[in-house]
């Protein structure tokens, strides 16, 4: 089902900054805590100058003026105002400037913004790229923007992500019909088998250089599997087609939606194997201007898919038409990324037969201790036995 992509026993790391920045900088990016609103401009014109009055006749100068706007180039110059939310070192902002953006606002709350400003200067782009050191919620931009870009995704998509800041930027500055990149995201989950990982972490203690150290097993399981683990698995570790946990439409998602995400799932195992836990990963889509967010049929397909009619990953990633969405996937069958996959391991594996049902629910919620932390409540039933696994991703 999934081609192998290799395996590493890496555990959870703490992210800070963008993937382009290799997690540079110690400051954590700020999440929006409230939605900003702006009042529209009042009509302060003299009543005699308003549009309900009889317009003056069209002159030859007017015709020449209107004709000048028939050229596409002038519209390109007018529409390319970009905000880079969580700019890090500024690399994405520079890419935008090189692609022809008239102006780019590069926003970051951490001290990496100081270095970003120096990078912009070194590339002679200070007239185009404006670095703003502060939270999106606090900085001021005195114009609407055409495009918002951001590498906001965290592990398991929503962990410690800065999607809230993207929402704030959208509500404050994005023009009607403006573009958000990435524009959509989908979080997936699937049951997995991973004997090698379990053996490396647990079975090692059964016999250490001929010494019975099985008394260490309970502590070893707690240390290895109490918290979610970020690591790379292979497609062959996945037992079923994935289930879509949450679809995020960046044009419409609200802060309230992100506080708690719940879903019920129902899987049918494709093979006989020990069930060691669940893996989570995500895709993000980069929709071009030709795809309307309001009528994106791709989004509807993702949201409505089920295990009875599984999604065809390979078909979804083919892009014969340039106007179709470009997809970046962190799935096990795709080339590894720094996000890898997030694994929720059981303390004890569950034997599963081919075609055996695995069903239950999962709830991902922001921690009251720290909204950037994620509480994970996982309920699962298989073979007539029910279990609950709770963990916190800190």
Number of structural domains the chain divides into: 1
What is the separation, in whole angstroms, between the first and last Cα of the chain? 32
User: Is the per-residue pLDDT at 129 higher than 90?
Assistant: yes
Residue 145 within a domain: no
Q: What is the mean pLDDT of residues 359-376?
A: 93
Residue 81 within a domain: no
List 30, 160, 231, 285, catalytic entry: 160
User: Is the per-residue pLDDT at 278 higher than 80?
Assistant: yes
Q: In what order do the strands lie in the sheet with 103-108?
A: 129-133, 103-108, 81-85, 145-149, 174-181
- 339-357 pLDDT, tens digit per residue, is 999 999 999 999 999 999 9
> What percent of the chain shows pLDDT beyond 70?
71
Phi, psi at 193, each rounded to 5°: -115, 140
Please check whether residue 156 is in contact with residue 342, taking contact to mean a CB–CB distance below 8 angstroms: yes
pLDDT of residue 196: 94
Q: Is 151 a catalytic residue?
A: yes
Local structure of 248: helix, strand or coil: strand
User: Is the per-residue pLDDT at 241 higher than 50?
Assistant: yes
Residue 283 within a domain: yes
- 279-314 pLDDT, tens digit per residue, is 999 999 998 544 444 433 333 333 333 344 444 444
Question: 262 to each of 31, 92, 182, 254, how far by Cα in Å?
Answer: 21, 33, 23, 15
Q: Which domain holds residue 313?
A: 184-393
Nearest CA to 340 among 12, 2, 4?
12
Residue 215 within a domain: yes
- 137-156 pLDDT, tens digit per residue, is 999 999 999 999 999 999 99
CATH number of the structural domain spanning residue 383: 2.70.160.11
Q: Is 160 a catalytic residue?
A: yes
Nearest CA to 141 among 184, 180, 84?
84
Residue 147 within a domain: no
Residue 309 within a domain: yes
pLDDT of residue 68: 46
Residue 361 within a domain: yes
Residue 200 within a domain: yes
List 30, 137, 151, 285, catalytic entry: 151
CA of residue 99 relative to chain centroid, distance: 23
Q: b vs e for 144-168, b when ≥16 Cβ sit within 10 Å of the residue's Cβ?
A: ebbbbbbbbbbbbbbbbbbbbbbbb
Local structure of 114: helix, strand or coil: helix
Q: Which helix (H) or strand (E) holds 46?
A: none
Predicted TM-score (pTM) of this structure: 0.75
Q: Can you give the length of the chain in residues?
A: 394
Average pLDDT across the chain, whole number: 80
User: What CA–CA distance (Å, rounded) separates 188 from 153?
Assistant: 14
Local structure of 108: helix, strand or coil: strand
Two tokens at 19? 């993937």
């Amino acid at each position: 089902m999934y081609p192998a992509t290799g395996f590493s026993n890496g555990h959870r790391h703490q992210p800070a900054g963008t993937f382009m920045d290799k997690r540079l900088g110690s400051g954590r990016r700020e999440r929006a805590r409230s939605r900003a609103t702006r009042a529209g401009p009042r009509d302060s014109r003299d009543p005699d100058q308003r549009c309900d009055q009889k317009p003056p006749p069209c002159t030859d100068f007017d015709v020449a003026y209107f004709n000048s706007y028939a050229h596409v180039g002038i519209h390109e110059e007018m529409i390319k105002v970009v905000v880079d939310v969580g700019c890090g070192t500024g690399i994405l902002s520079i890419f935008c400037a090189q692609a022809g953006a008239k102006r780019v606002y590069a926003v970051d709350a951490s001290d990496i913004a100081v270095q970003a400003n120096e990078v912009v200067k070194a590339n002679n782009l200070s007239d185009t790229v404006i670095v703003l050191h502060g939270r999106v919620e606090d900085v001021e931009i005195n114009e609407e923007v055409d495009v918002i870009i951001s590498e906001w995704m965290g592990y398991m998509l929503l962990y410690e992500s800065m999607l809230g800041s993207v929402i704030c930027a959208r509500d404050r500055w994005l023009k009607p019909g403006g573009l958000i990149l990435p524009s959509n995201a989908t979080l997936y989950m699937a049951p997995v088998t991973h004997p090698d990982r379990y053996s490396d972490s647990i079975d090692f203690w059964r016999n250490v250089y001929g010494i019975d150290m099985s008394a260490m097993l309970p502590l070893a399981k707690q240390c290895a599997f109490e918290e979610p683990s970020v690591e790379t698995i292979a497609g062959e570790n996945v037992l079923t087609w994935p289930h879509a946990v949450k679809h995020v439409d960046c044009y419409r998602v609200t802060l309230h939606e992100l506080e708690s995400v719940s879903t019920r799932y129902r899987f049918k195992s494709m093979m006989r194997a020990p069930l060691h836990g669940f893996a989570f990963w995500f895709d993000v889509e980069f929709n071009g201007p030709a795809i309307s967010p309001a009528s994106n049929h791709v989004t509807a397909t993702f949201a409505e898919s089920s295990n009875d009619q599984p999604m065809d990953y390979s078909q979804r990633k083919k892009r014969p038409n340039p106007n179709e969405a470009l997809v970046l996937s962190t799935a096990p069958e795709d080339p590894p990324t720094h996000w890898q996959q997030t694994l929720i391991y059981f303390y004890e594996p569950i034997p599963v037969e081919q075609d055996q049902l695995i069903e239950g629910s999962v709830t991902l919620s922001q921690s009251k201790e720290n909204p950037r932390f994620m509480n994970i409540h996982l309920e699962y039933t298989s073979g007539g036995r029910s279990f609950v696994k709770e963990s916190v991703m800190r």
